[in-house]
């Protein structure tokens, strides 16, 4: 796990200072080591110091040492021929198997690192190596023989890679701030569509664009090859995608066995490390399954787990986490924070995230990783992707209802709803979501107004978004096509998972902790999405049906039998009310750039609802507040 940045220019330019600045910006991602690469069209050199002479291409790498802790694992790393080099962020979990194969083909290795294996794979197979990699990665690969730069990102976008083209130059980086260090003269302005999607729907990251109009992301599961003499050329090409073929015709027992085998194998691979590995543990099915599998695979390991446990808050999962921790025999650390700590740390967290974020649960996660680093645990396994692979949210229930209604399966629909309601999971929101995707857009909009979910609420400046021709309808409409599996594919690739991975990457890297996500493993995801929807979301409304069955005997039954879905909730609105002077200080100094986008009077009305306890779990005010503060910290950004 590391931080990377670099540039490619059509003509040589003095880049040492800019590479050094980008490296300093990324120091938290890799505090253990750093090095630079400078290249012409025919040769390159690697040094611990920034390049002094003009160059066509430059890399900077910040290293967090996880595999092969020696200096031999330093990056950028050159091939034995000195005709290629790599600057790599992430982990290749199946590097041992790939190394064995390469050795049988004649390759020799001088380190125990996955970086050397990745470089050898690319030297031998080129882009064809990408579908064979199992891990999380974003990298830049220089090949002088083909006179090209290859950028690539892992199948789910676990590791970030931002791109900026300006005046015949291309820059890439793990974070946008480092990108702007590389091209300081590039203009920066807001992307109105991205702003609307965040403020109205809470979509902070879609894996492809950014809050900046000028900055894009290399999409997950894509590579981009650029000629060294023409940085303006090159289009991202996919090397893998989610496939929704006809579902397997298998039994619950067979589905559970398939999920169990693939999940245990994924956790086994994710435990490969030369430093201690811990886990985030909420007490839900997913995180409990990870901790239980870690213990099953490593019976004698000293395992530490970390749980957010807000004192005095009804949605506190500590008792469930303790059940899982006691069964697995792991050390459980609990984390909490006060309203004043949230207010004090917000500015730093906004700089850490790079963009505004949708709720204070992001701060809770930030504190989890802080606690892990303090406990000497530099690698953490986390349950991101479990809900989005195994149908853990009410929105998947809505997809099943909508599909039944579309097929006129009224008796099955009522039976499913009745059983779901009996088990305490009625979720009126599921009805709203199902209706929203079944009704024509005009009727759906009327329904949103009735339940206070207008597409253009009073606290937004309608004229700004109209002038920018922003689309204000549904973000996606997967329910109209492929049912539950279609929604799973959409939340995995475009809506929920991209932003959760964004938050997790920045929060973990802020404390120099590598976070790994075993549910986002290609074989596991492909198998899960091949299952018929009634094995994912049971006929009685049970979420993650086959996976719950798969974990019997490993995870405690009380956890597997839970039917409540708490998630990572914080006492957000209560804490906002406790810090009223701080909130008012932000509202009283709204910059002109923000007032063009947010209606101050409408926002004040929304704040009055929040501070009086009438807003429920609505995150709208937090998003607006966070966005305003982000703009205050970035005054040069044009709306």
> For the segment 24-33, what is each residue's pLDDT rounded down to a tens digit?
999 999 999 9
Average pLDDT over every residue of 468-492:
78
Query: Could you give the 3-state DSSP secondary structure of residue 137?
Result: strand
Where is the domain boundary, 180, 205, 238? 238
Distance CA 306, CA 549 (A): 25
Write the CATH number for 140. Answer: 3.60.20.10
* Band of pLDDT at residue 223, cut at 50, 70 and 90: very high
Both 584 and 610 in one domain: the answer is yes
- What element of type H or E holds 37? strand 33-39
165-169, 341-345, 395-399: least confidently modelled range = 395-399
**Residue at which a domain ends, from 193, 211, 238:** 238
CA angle 186, 187, 193 (to 5 degrees): 125
Q: Is the residue at 605 inside a domain? A: yes
Whole-number pLDDT of residue 479: 40
pLDDT at residue 283 greater than cutoff 60: yes
399 close to 416: Cβ distance less than 8 angstroms: no
The confidence score (pLDDT) of residue 314 equals 83
CA-CA distance, 467 to 447, in Å (whole number)? Answer: 26
Residue 352 has a pLDDT of 97
Average pLDDT (181-199) is: 96
Range of weakest confidence among 289-303, 431-445, 513-527: 431-445
| Most trustworthy range by pLDDT among 127-141, 307-321, 478-492 | 127-141
- Residue at 266 is within a domain: yes
Whether the predicted pLDDT of 433 surpasses 70: no
- pLDDT for the residue 438: 63
Query: Which alpha helices (H) appear in 375-440, and where do they start and end?
Result: 386-390, 394-406, 410-422, 428-438
Distance CA 177, CA 499 (A): 18
pLDDT digit string, tens, across residues 107-129: 999 999 999 999 999 999 999 99
Residue 278 lies in a domain: yes
Distance between CA atoms of residues 197 and 194, nearest Å: 5
Q: How confident is the model at residue 403 (pLDDT cuts 50, 70, 90)?
A: confident
Q: Is residue 285 part of a domain?
A: yes
> Which range, of 47-51, 336-340, 611-615, averages the lowest pLDDT?
611-615
Asked if residue 288 and residue 161 are part of one domain, the reply reads: no
Say whether both 177 and 285 belong to one domain: no
Domain end: 238, 268, 293, which one?
238
474 pLDDT higher than 70: no
Q: How many CA atoms lie within 13 A of 522 on its CB side?
A: 20
CB distance 236 to 224 below 8 Å: yes
The answer on 124 and 233 residing in a single domain is yes
Q: Would residue 619 count as lying in a domain?
A: yes
User: CB–CB of 611/621 below 8 Å?
Assistant: no
Q: Which residues of 254-277 are buried (b: 16+ CB within 10 A; e: fewer)?
A: ebbebbbebbbbbbbbbbbeeebb
Asked if residue 164 and residue 105 are part of one domain, the reply reads yes
Count: domains in the chain: 3
| CA 212 remoteness from chain centre | 18
Answer whether residue 80 shows pLDDT above 80.
yes
b (16+ CB within 10 A) / e for 159-182? bbbbbbbbeebbbbbbbbbbbbbb
pLDDT at 480 over 60: no
Q: Domain with 309 in it: what CATH number? A: 3.40.50.620
222 and 91, same structural domain?
A: yes
Q: Which residue has the tokens 């031998």?
A: 124
The Cα–Cα gap between 88 and 96 comes to 17
Q: Among all chains, which residue has been given the structure tokens 């120099």? A: 512
Same domain, 599 and 525: no
Who contacts 452 (Cβ-Cβ below 8 Å, separation ≥6)? none
- For 320, the token pair is 């469930």
pLDDT value for 435 = 62
Q: Do 116 and 37 belong to one domain?
A: yes
Any idea which residue has 């395992």 for tokens? Answer: 303
| 504 in a structural domain | no
Q: How far apart are CA 518 and CA 292, in angstroms?
A: 13
Cα dihedral 345→348→354→356 (10° resolution): 30
List, for residues 559-616, the tens digit of each pLDDT value.
999 988 777 789 998 999 999 999 999 999 999 999 999 999 999 999 999 888 887 7
d(CA 539, CA 423): 12
In the Cβ-directed half-sphere of 157, how many Cα atoms lie within 13 Å? Answer: 28
CA distance 394 to 232: 44
Is position 592 within any domain? yes
Q: Beta partners for 178?
A: none
With cut-offs at 50, 70 and 90, classify the pLDDT of residue 65: very high
Higher pLDDT: 448 or 197? It is 197
Separation of alpha carbons 219 and 601, rounded Å: 38
Q: Considering only 301-305, 459-463, 536-540, which range has the smallest mean pLDDT? A: 536-540
Per-residue pLDDT tens for 411-429?
A: 888 888 887 776 655 555 6
For residues 182 and 262, membership in a common domain is answered with: no
Q: In this structure, is residue 411 part of a structural domain? A: no
Alpha carbon distance 5, 139 (integer Å): 9
Distances in Å between the Cα of 563 and the Cα atoms of 9, 182, 285, 442, 543 are 55, 49, 10, 35, 8
**Where are the strands (E) in 132-290, listed by range?**
135-143, 148-153, 162-166, 169-173, 216-217, 222-227, 237-238, 277-280
pLDDT above 50 for 15: yes
Confidence of residue 436 (pLDDT cuts 50, 70, 90): low
- Per DSSP, the residues of 426-454 read --HHHHHHHHHHHS-HHHHHHHHHHTT--
Answer whether 22's CB lies under 8 Å from 53's CB.
Answer: no
Write the pLDDT tens digit of every residue in 227-240.
999 999 999 999 99
CA distance 321 to 307: 7
pLDDT at residue 437 tops 70: no
Q: Look at residue 144 in the predicted model and tell me its pLDDT.
A: 98
**Out of 394-403, 521-530, 556-565, which region has the weakest mean confidence (pLDDT)?**
394-403
**Using 50, 70 and 90 to split pLDDT, how confident is the model at 14?**
confident
37 and 162 in a single domain? The answer is yes
Q: Express each pLDDT in 347-356 by its tens digit.
A: 999 999 999 9
Indicate if 222 and 302 belong to the same structural domain: no
Res 478: pLDDT: 45
Are both 178 and 283 inside the same structural domain?
Answer: no
% pLDDT > 90, the chain? 82
Q: Using a CB cutoff of 8 Å and minimum separation of 24, what contacts does 228-233 make?
A: 228/8, 228/39, 228/41, 228/56, 228/57, 228/147, 228/148, 228/149, 229/10, 229/41, 229/147, 230/10, 231/8, 231/9, 231/10, 231/165, 231/168, 231/169, 231/170, 232/10, 232/165, 232/168, 232/170
Domain coverage including residue 614: 572-633
Instruction: State residue 44's pLDDT score.
Output: 97
In this structure, of 151-160, 213-222, 479-488, 565-574, the range with the lowest mean pLDDT score is 479-488
Please state the length of the chain.
Answer: 639
Please give the helix or strand (H or E) that residue 327 lies within, else none: helix 318-328
- Average pLDDT value for residue range 546-555: 98
């Amino acid at each position: 796990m590391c931080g990377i940045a670099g540039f490619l220019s059509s003509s040589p330019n003095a880049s040492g200072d800019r590479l050094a600045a980008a490296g300093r910006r990324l120091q938290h991602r890799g505090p253990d080591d750093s090095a630079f690469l400078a290249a012409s069209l025919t040769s390159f050199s690697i040094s611990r110091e920034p390049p002094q002479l003009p160059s066509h291409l430059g890399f900077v790498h910040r290293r967090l040492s996880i595999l092969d802790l020696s200096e031999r694992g330093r990056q950028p790393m050159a091939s034995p021929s000195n005709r290629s080099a790599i600057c790599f962020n992430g982990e290749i979990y199946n590097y041992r198997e790939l190394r064995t194969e390469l050795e049988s083909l004649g390759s020799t290795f001088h380190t125990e690192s996955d970086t050397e294996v990745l470089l050898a794979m690319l030297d031998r197979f080129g882009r064809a190596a990408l579908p064979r990699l199992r891990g999380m990665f974003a990298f830049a690969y220089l090949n002088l023989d083909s006179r090209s730069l290859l950028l690539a990102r892992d199948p789910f976008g676990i590791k970030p890679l931002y791109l900026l083209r300006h005046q015949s130059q291309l820059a890439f980086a793990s974070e946008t701030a480092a990108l702007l260090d590389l091209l300081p003269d590039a203009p920066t302005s807001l992307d109105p569509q991205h702003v609307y999607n965040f403020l109205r729907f809470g979509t902070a990251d879609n894996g492809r664009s950014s809050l900046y109009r000028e900055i894009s992301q290399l999409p997950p599961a894509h590579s981009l090859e650029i000629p060294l003499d023409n940085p303006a050329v090159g289009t991202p090409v996919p090397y893998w995608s989610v496939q929704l073929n006809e579902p397997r015709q298998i039994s619950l027992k067979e589905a559970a066995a398939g999920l169990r085998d693939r999940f245990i194998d994924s956790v086994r691979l994710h435990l490969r490390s030369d430093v201690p590995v811990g886990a985030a543990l909420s007490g839900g099915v997913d995180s409990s399954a990870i901790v239980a599998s870690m213990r099953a695979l490593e019976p004698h390991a000293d395992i530490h787990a970390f749980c957010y446990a807000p004192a005095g808050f009804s949605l506190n999962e500590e008792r469930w986490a303790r059940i899982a921790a006691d069964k697995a025999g792991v050390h459980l650390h609990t984390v909490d924070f006060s309203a004043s700590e949230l207010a004090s740390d917000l500015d730093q967290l906004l700089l850490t995230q790079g963009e505004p974020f949708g709720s204070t649960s992001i701060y809770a996660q930030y504190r989890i990783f802080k606690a892990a680093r303090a406990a000497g645990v530099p690698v953490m396994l986390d349950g991101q992707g479990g809900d989005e692979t195994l149908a853990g949210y009410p929105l998947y229930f809505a997809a099943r209802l909508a599909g039944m209604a579309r097929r006129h399966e009224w008796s099955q629909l009522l039976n499913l709803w009745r059983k779901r309601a009996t088990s305490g999971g009625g979720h009126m929101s599921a009805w709203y979501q199902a209706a929203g995707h079944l009704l024509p857009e005009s009727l759906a909009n009327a329904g949103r107004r009735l339940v206070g979910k207008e597409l253009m609420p009073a606290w937004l400046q309608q004229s700004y978004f109209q002038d920018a021709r922003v689309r204000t309808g549904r973000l996606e409409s997967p329910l109209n096509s492929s049912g539950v599996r279609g929604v799973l594919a959409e939340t995995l690739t475009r809506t929920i998972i991209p932003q959760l991975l964004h938050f997790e990457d920045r929060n973990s890297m802020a404390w120099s902790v590598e976070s790994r996500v075993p549910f986002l493993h290609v074989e596991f995801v492909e198998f899960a999405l091949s299952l018929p929807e009634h094995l994912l979301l049971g006929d009685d409304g049970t979420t993650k049906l086959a996976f719950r069955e798969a974990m019997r005997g490993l995870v405690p039954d009380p956890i597997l039998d839970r039917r409540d879905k708490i998630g990572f909730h914080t006492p957000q609105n209560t804490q906002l009310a406790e810090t009223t002077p701080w909130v008012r200080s932000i509202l009283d100094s709204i910059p002109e750039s923000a007032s063009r986008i947010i209606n101050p009077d409408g926002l004040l009305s929304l704040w009055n609802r929040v501070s009086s306890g009438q807003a429920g779990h609505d995150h709208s005010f937090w998003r607006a507040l966070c966005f305003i503060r982000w703009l205050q910290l970035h005054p040069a950004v044009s709306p």
